């Protein structure tokens, strides 16, 4: 199913494409809707699609035992599923609709078929995907640094160490 190109015009993944390239890519996206609370991507399972948020908000989290560690909250026009989409590995996190969500999806096979026919288009789209992924990695690195600083402050606090010892007995 082909969708109208207007919502795609603002997407960072399509920056720098000429009119013909843009229409070729836009014609490959499908529109999907998910109600709030739906798991759209499941941690540990393969990524067959790239998702672009058009409406709504999603939560990205990892499961650690019985807990969920919130990694990020995304809104339009952000993408998710890029890493497993690119490398074919399992999804590194779960993505759940925080509100009712509308996404545009691109199947991996369609993506590769399209890019195999144009080296210039391939370079532009991969450059955009790399930029998006690098921004996400920088954000995650900052989170890790913050968690490390908090952990270090707690470990250096004598009252916390005493409390922790009581918990571990």
Mind listing the pLDDT tens digit for each residue in 109-123? Answer: 888 888 888 888 888
| pLDDT band of 6, cuts 50, 70, 90 | low
* Tokens (6 digits) for 23: 């229409």
Which position has the higher pLDDT, 136 or 55? 55
pLDDT exceeds 70 at position 136: yes
Q: 35 in helix, strand or coil?
A: coil
In words, the CATH class of domain 6-168 is mainly beta
Angle between helices 19-26 and 119-155 (to 10 degrees): 70
Ordered by start, the domain boundaries in the chain are 6-168
List, in sequence order, the alpha helices (H) in the chain.
19-26, 82-87, 108-116, 119-155, 158-168
Q: What is the pLDDT of residues 70-109, one digit of tens each?
A: 988 999 988 898 888 878 889 989 999 999 999 999 998 8
| pLDDT band of 3, cuts 50, 70, 90 | low
Q: 25 in helix, strand or coil?
A: helix
- CB of 85 within 8 A of CB of 50? yes
- How many percent of the chain have pLDDT more than 70? 93
pLDDT exceeds 80 at position 1: no
How confident is the model over 34-47, as a mean pLDDT?
A: 92
Its pTM surpasses 0.85: no
The pLDDT, as a whole number, for residue 118 is 87
CA gap 13, 126 in Å, rounded: 8
- CB of 105 within 8 A of CB of 54? no
């Amino acid at each position: 199913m082909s969708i109208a190109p207007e919502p795609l015009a603002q997407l960072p993944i399509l920056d720098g494409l000429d009119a013909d390239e843009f229409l070729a890519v836009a014609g490959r996206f499908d529109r999907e809707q998910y109600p709030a609370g739906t798991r759209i991507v499941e941690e540990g399972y393969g990524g067959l699609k790239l998702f672009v948020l058009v409406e709504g908000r999603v939560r990205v989290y990892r499961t650690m035992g019985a807990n969920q560690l919130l990694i990020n909250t995304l809104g339009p026009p952000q993408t998710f599923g890029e890493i497993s989409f690119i490398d074919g590995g399992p999804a590194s996190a779960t993505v759940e609709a925080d509100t009712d969500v509308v996404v545009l999806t691109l199947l991996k096979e369609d993506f590769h078929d399209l890019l195999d026919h144009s080296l210039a288009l391939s370079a532009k789209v991969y450059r955009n995907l790399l930029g998006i992924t690098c921004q996400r990695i920088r954000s995650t690195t900052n989170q890790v640094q913050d968690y490390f600083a908090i952990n270090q402050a707690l470990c250096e606090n004598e009252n916390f160490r005493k409390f922790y010892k009581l918990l571990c007995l």
